[in-house]
Amino acid sequence: KINGLIKFNKPTHTGTELIILLAVVGNGQVTIENAATEPEVDNLIDFLNSAGARIKRKGNLIQIYGVKSLKQKTPFKIASDRNEAATYVSLALATKGSVTISLIEKNYISSLIDSVITIGGLVKKINRNSWKFSYPLTGGLRAMDIETAPYPGFMTDWQPPWAVLLTQVKGESIIHERLFENRFSYVEELKKLGAQIEFIEIKVNNPKNYYHFNFEECKKYQQAIKITGPQELHGGVLNIADLRAGATLAIAALVAKDESVVNNVSILERGYENFVEKIQKLGGNIKKI
């Protein structure tokens, strides 16, 4: 049983969902202040309420009234994975192709749509929940800077595959990571393929407030990179260190002109259902060995 007020100093996606799950069954009442506003949190609330929970949200305030038990009486449709959507959009643009993402609401990918437009890509609304993303017919893409941020900003999970796209864009682009202290495990692997990426220092006046992790404890990690493009990538042997890096290296291998081998693929498969099969359907030359 937990009861009372929980106030986060900074919004936390996982922390908000954890408190909801801990408080939903019981006889307590919990209020979360400064709760995460990600749509996945709302999807979780909708699911639990459909099973008999009593959870209310108003902005970044969530109130949970504990119930004796939960029972799901009707099927519930979970939301599409916006991280998967961003991965395939990055791949399509990096290979000068197109992809249609269906069954995903605009509020899940609004900042992705904005970023595709900013970089010079084409976005076409097919219907209410379907979007086509395409490489432009003329003019190519342009360099851009990315700063990760909580919802509705550009997700930290999106920046690794987006980095591959930026290697194919003319000019210098900067990615500044604010949410996850060790997001750049993919950088050295991309450099094996010929990517021009360097770590840079960006002065932040108030890092304690700016970053969503303990900056003082994480100074061994760097939080910004500069990517210079366009750069033709060549094949290589790559090693996946984490989930998003896995998709990133797979995209880079598909962009590269020669054959590549990507190891530790089980890490990638943890977050991407039927990844190889989906890439093959998009025309990618990929197989699991």
19-45 tens-digit pLDDT: 999 999 999 999 999 999 999 999 999
In this structure, what token pair is assigned to residue 48?
């639990």
Q: How far apart are CA 190 and CA 244, in angstroms?
A: 13
- Report pLDDT for 3: 86
Per-residue confidence in pLDDT tens, the chain, 289 aa: 688 999 999 999 999 999 999 999 999 999 999 999 999 999 999 999 999 999 999 999 999 999 999 999 999 999 999 999 999 999 999 999 999 999 999 999 999 999 999 999 999 999 999 999 999 999 999 999 999 999 999 999 999 999 999 999 999 999 999 999 999 999 999 999 999 999 999 999 999 999 999 999 999 999 999 999 999 999 999 999 999 999 999 999 999 999 999 999 999 999 999 999 999 999 999 999 9
Amino acid in the structure at residue 69:
S
- Report pLDDT for 29: 96
Q: How far apart are CA 129 and CA 287, in angstroms?
A: 30
**Other C-beta atoms within 10 Å of 4: how many?**
9
- Report pLDDT for 2: 80
